[in-house]
Structure 1
Amino acid sequence: MMVPVRCFTCGNVVAKHWEEFDERANEGDEDPQEVLDELGVERYCCRRMLVSHTDLVDIVSPYQ
């Protein structure tokens, strides 16, 4: 549904990077690796939180 606020493994805040990452990597032509490097997300556990997230709010909302 919503991007997790903190990384499940290390506890760093990752939600603050989601909007910019989504705009630049998923909707643009930029490489996700380069976007995460520029945002300062260094740990691989935090990177996977952003790369593997699927936004399902639009799909699930009609059923509420």
Structure 2
Amino acid sequence: MMVPVRCFTCGNVVSEHWEEFENRTREGEEDPQQVLDELGVERYCCRRMLVSHVDLVDVVSPYQ
């Protein structure tokens, strides 16, 4: 649903990078790997939290 605040594996804060990561990759101008490098997200576990997230809030909210 929402972006997890912290990485499930290591506990680092990942939610602070979500908006910029989503905006830069949605436009298609940059590779996700390059964006994560520029944001300073180095650990693989934290990278997977951002890359694999699917935002379903708009899909699920009408059913609540």
The TM-score by the shorter chain falls in which range? over 0.9
Q: Is there any run of 5+ residues in structure 1 with no aligned partner, and where?
A: none
* Alpha-carbon distance in structure 1 between the residues aligned to 2:34 and 2:41: 10
Q: TM-score w.r.t. structure 1 length? A: 0.96
Q: Are 2:23 and 1:52 aligned?
A: no
Q: Is there any run of 5+ residues in structure 2 with no aligned partner, and where?
A: none
**What's the C-alpha RMSD, in Å, of the aligned pairs?**
0.8
- CA shift, 1:26, in A, is 2.4
Identity of aligned residues (%): 84
Q: TM-score w.r.t. structure 2 length? A: 0.96
Q: Which letter maps to 1:19?
A: E
* Alpha-carbon distance in structure 2 between the residues aligned to 1:51 and 1:45: 10
Query: Following TM superposition, where does structure 1 have runs of at least 4 consecutive aligned residues deviating by more than 4 angstroms?
Result: none
What does residue 40 of structure 1 align with? Answer: 40
* Alpha-carbon distance in structure 2 between the residues aligned to 1:7 and 1:26: 22
CA deviations on 1:13-41 (whole Å, 9 max, x unpaired) are 00000000000012332100000000000
